Amino acid sequence: MVDSTSAPAGCGLRLWVESRTPIKELPGFRPNHSVPKEVTSQTRLYVAGIGETGVERDLERVARLLREAFGLKRKELSSIGPDRGGGSLVCPQLTYTATVSQADDDPGVAVTRREVEPSSPDVLADPGLAFAFAPGFTALERRFAEPADVEAVIDAVEDADPPEVNSLDYPLDASTCELRLAGFGGMVRVTAENVAILAPMPVPPGDLVKAWAKVKGLLEAAGAG
C-alpha cells in the first residue's frame, strides 16, 4: 500500500463508467445485513462498508490486467485501500479508482464507479488501456482550471457552424450546453466546471478520444480549452 501522494500527476482527463446493482446482490452482503429504506449519512457509510468486498475483488482483477497490459513489475503497481467503499491502483501510466456508494435516487441500489486518470494523454491511445478496461467507459471528462464561459462556447459553435456538430442545445440562461457530434452516438455536455463526453453504453477509450479531439478545438476557440 502507498500513500496517495505517490500517485502520478494526471493530465486533467478522466475516463469513467458506472453500474447499478441491488445492494442485496453485492458480494459483501451477508444474511445478517438489511437493505436500507432511506438515504442518510449513516446508510451511505453502511453501503460503503458492504461494498468493500467487491472493491477488493475488482482491484485484484484489474491489477492482473494492468500487469499484463503494460508489463508492470511488482514495484511499479501499488494499491490504496479498500477503505470506506473505495480503493485505488497506482502505476506510472495511470491511477485507477473503484468506489461503491448508495444511489441517491434509490436506497436499495448501489452504484459502482470505475475511474481512470491517465498520467498523460498518450496513455489514452495505448492498446493496453483498452485491453485492461474492456468493454470500456461511458464518459471522458475534463475539468477546467478556471470557470469556462459557456456563452462564449455556444457563440463559437454557432458562429463556426462546424460540420462535425450535428446539433446544439442550451437553456435560456446558457449555463450549460449539449452538443451532438457526427459519427458519435452520445453527447457532449459543457458547464462552467467541466466538459464531459458521454456515451450511452461502454465504448473503447479511442471512441471517446476521437470525440474529445473534435470538441477540443471548439473549446480553444472560445478560450476554454
Rounded distance between C-alpha atoms, residue 148 and residue 135, angstroms: 32
Phi, psi for residue 161 in degrees, rounded to 5: 45, 55
Structural domain boundaries in the chain: 4-134, 143-221
Q: Give the mean model confidence (pLDDT) for residues 169-195.
A: 95
Nearest to 130 by CA among 69, 73, 184: 69
Residues 6+ apart with CB under 8 A from 118: 10, 11, 13, 15, 93, 94, 124, 129
- Which tens digit of pLDDT belongs to each residue from 120-161? 999 999 999 999 999 999 999 999 989 989 999 999 999 988
* CATH code that applies to domain 143-221: 3.30.457
pLDDT tier at 11 (50, 70, 90 boundaries)? Answer: confident
**Crossing angle of helices 205-221 and 150-160, rounded to 10°:** 90
Closest C-alpha among 156, 167, 143 to residue 217: 156
> Whole-angstrom Cα distance, residue 163 to residue 102?
41
pTM over 0.85: yes
For 76-132, how does the pLDDT look when each residue is reduced to its tens digit (9 = 90+)? Answer: 999 998 998 999 999 999 999 999 999 999 999 999 999 999 999 999 999 999 999
Residue 72's region, left for phi above 0, alpha for psi from -120 to 50, else beta, is: beta
Q: How far apart are CA 52 and CA 100, in angstroms?
A: 7
